[in-house]
Amino acid sequence: MLSLWNDQEAQEYCARYEAHGQAIALRVYTSRLIGRCAELVLHGGGNTSVKTVVRDLLGREVEVLCVKGSGSDLAAVEPAGLPAVRLQPLRELQTLPELADEAMVSAVRGALMDSRAPNPSVEALLHAFLPHTFVDHTHANAILALTDQPDADAHLAAVFGDEVAVLPWIMPGFPLAKAVAEAFARHPKCRGIVLKKHGLFTFGDDARTSYERTIELVQRAERYITRRIGGRPAMLGGDPAPLPPAERRLALLRCLPVLRGALASEVATVCGPLWERVIAEARTGDEIASFTAHSAAPALCAAGPITPDHVIRTKGQYLFLSRDEAMDAARCRSQVANFVAGYRRYFEAHASVLAGGRMLRPLPNVVVVQGLGLIALQPTRAAARIAADIGEHTLRVKAAAHALDRYEALTDAELAAMEYWPLELAKLGAQKSPDLQGQVALVTGAAGAIGCGIVEALLENGACVLATDVDAERLQVVQKKFARHGGNLVSAIADLTVPAEVERLFAECVLAFGGVDCVVPNAGIAHVSRLETMDAARFARVLEVNTTGTMLVLQQAARVLREQGTGGSIVVQASKNVFAPGAGFGAYSASKAAALQLARVAALELAPIGVRVNAINADAVFGDDEVPSQLWEEVGPDRMRARGLDASGLREYYRERSLLKTTVLPRHIGEAVVFFARQRTPTTGAVLPIDGGIAEAFPR
């Protein structure tokens, strides 16, 4: 652990945030230094503050505490993420013998200089009660390895002597704020305060002093641990050896769909039972895989978290599975059921009264597989990544604590009080889940106009999407177009006429998200030629892409969907030409008719495993300048010549041809896919026209 303070960077921050004053500028700077170090804080953990002076509406100077606000991440905090609270009203609260959480939150919020600001940290009073200008709070891994021990006091004394004050575990809020203030009053020369099984507070009269005290104390803890255990923890060193990397990949491909299926929940709705699914994020690096192969791993995974702040992200316990259990659906579901039963017992014994009888989702958030690694499973990819990051650090800290002496977590009663603490649960928010949250979709032909519209609709309804196409350049345009969706969209290049590439495509989807729930065979090419002059090779190529490619995608989709065991949706992109072909369009019409027949056969074959297979017949979808229709780039010139029209005239012709006199947009096709993916109706084997109404193409 090294200090990252840089005088030039500090000056740049002072210049950038000059309007906010030097104290705020340097508070932002050192907060970000702390937030960017995963060994200190993770995903919104920790908090920082600075005491400074601002002017109120009457121009009077007011002493304020600027403390990290709820929802802010230290790694990217801005001045607005450090809401200013009048300091004097907070300090006056220290005289109270006790203060309920609701009253504390109300008092702190009532002291805000700006009522629109985010809620200050639940530890705002702790920062206020300390006299220092700057205060830093971290959940440093090395400190936790020392304090998560039955004899933590002895280890802390050996490292710090009397340079730090030490407190037992105390719930955050008013009691902790009072205890920290009293500890400093007893040890006014201390360089920091350690809270067992929680973290570290440091402080100073300037930003650099407070920050570098954190670094120094953590560095001393790291060196002590290294000396005591002789280097890297044995559990992370490859003895016993985990699976080799290539075998880990193969094992992941087998177990991820099984795990996703086992952790999906069937819920009753007015439209019938539906599945609530999860997204998987796997971590299988050498050290983590080594941990999972060790004989101590099951017991350490069953122990509580390294700091209770993590419980809302990962739960207290991780589910540990052998590789055989992780790859066998029945055995995996049995172990998940055992975990759920154990969580219910924990809830009923320690948290039922706290939570008013309302239990959180009882399924595991982190699964550890012997010799393979850890897999976080959450309703969103962002949440899964957060849980996986925390899980990785947790296993490393537990390995160090195990090597040092014996890992000891909070009791179940203490953990439950934190897990069901309303102020902790508030960090998760209460946003309404989008309809396709937890679903994974795979869309072929994603670089074309229709494919792009499908990808857009799926993403905006909460799905994770693997978008694939054979055209790398066009696919990159789509990837950039939806960059705002972050990790919910990944792309892959593949030729769907090659069986090995289709298999690889589904493997990439499984490794990225854990499996697949909605598959959209959309890729297609066209060739304009009358039958009497048709080139046999060109005809065969159209069938190869549009029909054989669809068959290969259906084949791989069926395999993964069967492994998951939670049903799913397949939506084949057919065409208006299936029912109303046009002259000179024989290759395309025949290939799409064959694809529709494959969809109908798939509907018959996959119904027993709950998979619904439907088709969409689209017509005259031109796209836009950014993502144009590749099909119309192929057939448009011929259609314009035949009708004596230019590009805009051709579009107007097709709009007027429809019964509804409307333009069919790519997003319309996407909304149809979303309709089928929602599974609100018991529909399979259907053909849904999205063509504005073409009478001769009515399905029959």
* Mean pLDDT, residues 406-413 taken together: 95
Domain boundary among 428, 454, 484: 428
Are 141 and 263 in a shared domain? no
What domain range includes position 347? 245-428
338 and 448 share a domain? no
pLDDT in tens, 20-70: 999 999 999 999 999 999 999 988 789 999 999 998 888 889 999 999 998
CATH number of the structural domain spanning residue 671 = 3.40.50.720
Residue 398 inside a domain? The answer is: yes
Q: 90-117: b or e for each residue (b if 16 or more CB lie within 10 Å)? A: bbebeeeeebeeeebbebbbebbbeeeb
SS3 sequence of 286-306: HHHHHHHHCCCHHHHHHCCCC
Within a domain: 217 = yes
Q: Of 365, 364, 366, 350, which is closest to residue 420 (Cα–Cα)?
A: 350
Least confident of 26-35, 47-56, 527-536, 646-655: 646-655
Same domain, 196 and 258: no
Q: What is the pLDDT of residues 309-328, one digit of tens each?
A: 899 999 999 999 999 999 99
pLDDT band at 353 (very low <50, low <70, confident <90, very high): confident
Q: Which residue has the higher pLDDT, 273 or 515?
A: 515
pLDDT at site 244:
93
In tens, the pLDDT along 586-608 reads 999 999 999 999 999 999 999 99
Question: pLDDT tens-digit profile of 438-457?
Answer: 999 999 999 999 999 999 99
Residue 574 pLDDT? 94
Q: pTM for the full model?
A: 0.92
Q: Are residues 354 and 321 in the same domain?
A: yes
Q: pLDDT band at residue 133, thresholds of 50, 70 and 90? A: very high
Last residue of a domain, one of 229, 260, 284: 229
Domain contains 220: yes
Structure tokens at 336: 């998940």
Assigned token pair, 214: 């954190």
| Domain identity same for 355 and 302 | yes
Total number of domains in the chain? 3
Query: Is residue 286 domain-resident?
Result: yes
Question: Which parts of 584-682 fold into alpha helices (H)?
Answer: 586-606, 630-643, 647-657, 666-678
Domain membership of residue 649 (yes or no) is yes
Please compute the mean of the pLDDT values over residues 498-503 and round it to a whole number: 97
633 and 607 in a common domain: yes
588 belongs to the catalytic site: yes
Are 90 and 187 found together in one domain? yes
Is the pLDDT at 427 greater than 90, yes or no?
no
In a domain, 378, yes or no: yes
Q: Indicate whether 270 and 213 sit together in one domain.
A: no
Chain length of the chain: 700
What's the mean pLDDT in 178-187? 96
Q: What integer pLDDT is reported at residue 579 of this predicted model?
A: 94
Partnered with residue 628 across adjacent β-strands are 623
Instruction: Please tell me whether residues 224 and 277 are part of one structural domain.
Output: no
Q: Which of 29, 343, 588, 654 is catalytic?
A: 588
421/528 same-domain check: no
DSSP state of 175: H
CATH number at residue 105: 3.40.225.10
**Looking at residue 429, what is its pLDDT?**
64
Residue 234 inside a domain? The answer is: no
Could you tell me which residue, 628 or 681, shows the higher pLDDT? 681
Per-residue pLDDT, 293:
95
Q: What is the pLDDT of residues 72-118, one digit of tens each?
A: 899 999 999 999 999 999 999 999 999 999 999 999 999 999 989 99
Q: Supply the CATH number for residue 256's domain.
A: 3.40.225
Both 522 and 665 in a single domain?
Answer: yes
Q: What is the DSSP-derived secondary structure letter of residue 585? A: B
* Amino acid residing at 214: T
Domain final residue pick, 375, 398, 428: 428
Please report, rounded to a whole number, the percentage of residues in the chain having pLDDT higher than 90. 84
Strands (E), 24-73: 47-55, 61-67
pLDDT at 505 over 80: yes
Residue 29 lies in a domain: yes
What confidence score (pLDDT) does residue 238 get?
83
Q: Are residues 259 and 179 in the same domain?
A: no
